[in-house]
């Protein structure tokens, strides 16, 4: 079956612009996670959805970052007034439930470059 998909695969934008990154999880997975991976580092947690609601957004770095999952499937990560420090690979993952031992399946990521 299809895995987690993310679009676009690459996004180049200018400082100050608004961007949206999309994640399409595996069908039927209720838990969805966003992570950010900077060069040479491990992924860092941003936000977690259980169904339509954001159950934990403690990893969002500031109020320029926002994410939605209105129908409990596709999710969009939105970044306002982008800064050069936002440049990273944004990863989405989904799992059947939020139980800690469940495998999270990762998408290929969106590489964001802010000039």
Residues that bind other proteins in the complex, under the rule CB under 8 A: 31, 33, 35, 40-45, 48, 55-56, 59, 91, 93, 95, 98-109
Shortest reach from residue 45's CB to other proteins, in Å: 4
- Chain-centroid distance of CA 60 in Å reads 10
Please give the structure tokens belonging to residue 78.
Answer: 């939105």
Query: 19 or 49: whose CB is closer to other proteins?
Result: 49
Query: 82 or 92: whose CB is closer to other proteins?
Result: 92
Query: 25 or 43: whose CB is closer to other proteins?
Result: 43
DSSP structure string for 19-51: EEEEEE--TT--EEEEEEE-TTS--EEEEEEET
Query: 82 or 95: whose CB is closer to other proteins?
Result: 95
Shortest reach from residue 21's CB to other proteins, in Å: 15
Nearest to 77 by CA among 9, 8, 13, 23: 23
Shortest reach from residue 41's CB to other proteins, in Å: 6
Side-chain half-sphere CA neighbours of 63 within 13 A: 0
């Amino acid at each position: 079956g299809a895995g987690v998909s993310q679009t676009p695969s690459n996004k180049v934008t200018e400082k100050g612009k608004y961007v949206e990154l999309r994640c399409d999880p595996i069908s039927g997975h209720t838990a969805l996670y966003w992570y950010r991976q900077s060069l040479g580092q491990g992924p860092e947690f941003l936000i977690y959805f259980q169904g339509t609601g954001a159950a934990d957004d403690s990893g969002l770095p500031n109020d320029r970052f926002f994410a939605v999952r209105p129908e409990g499937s596709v999710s969009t990560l939105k970044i306002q007034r982008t800064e050069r420090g936002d440049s990273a690979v944004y990863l989405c993952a989904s799992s059947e439930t939020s139980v800690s031992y469940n495998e999270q399946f990762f998408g290929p990521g969106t590489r964001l470059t802010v000039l």
